């Protein structure tokens, strides 16, 4: 018989209790299995802990348009400075 302290239980304890190691494809829901395969157990459990129950909407673009604009403007400014300095 296993004694479980439900006041201090963690996802890691449940993972160990159900002997999930090596049986992830049978045990985990599809999205968590995909995260497990991409990121590993620890990262998958962190994502579960912080976002379970939420819907995540991941934009098609990684970077914000304002960031890209700032980078382009900065690059153009540096090029202008370099061209001006060589004249």
Residue 15 included in any domain:
yes
Average pLDDT over residues 74-86: 82
Cα separation, 41 vs 32, in Å, equals 9
Q: What is the DSSP letter of 11?
A: H
Residue 6 included in any domain:
no
Structural domain count of the chain: 1
Domain that holds residue 31: 11-85
| CA atoms in the 13 A half-sphere facing the CB of 69 | 3
Average pLDDT over residues 23-48: 90
Q: Write out the two tokens for 69.
A: 């604009």
Provide the whole-model pTM: 0.59
Is residue 35's pLDDT more than 90? yes
Is residue 2's pLDDT more than 80? no
Residue 1 included in any domain:
no
């Amino acid at each position: 018989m296993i004694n479980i302290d439900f006041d201090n239980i963690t996802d890691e304890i449940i993972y160990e209790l159900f002997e999930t190691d090596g049986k992830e494809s049978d045990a985990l829901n599809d999205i968590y299995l995909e995260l497990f395969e991409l990121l590993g157990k620890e990262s998958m459990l962190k994502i579960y802990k912080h976002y379970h129950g939420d819907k995540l909407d991941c934009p098609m673009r990684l970077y914000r348009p304002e960031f890209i604009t700032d980078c382009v403007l900065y690059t153009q400014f540096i090029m202008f400075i370099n061209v001006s300095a060589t004249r």
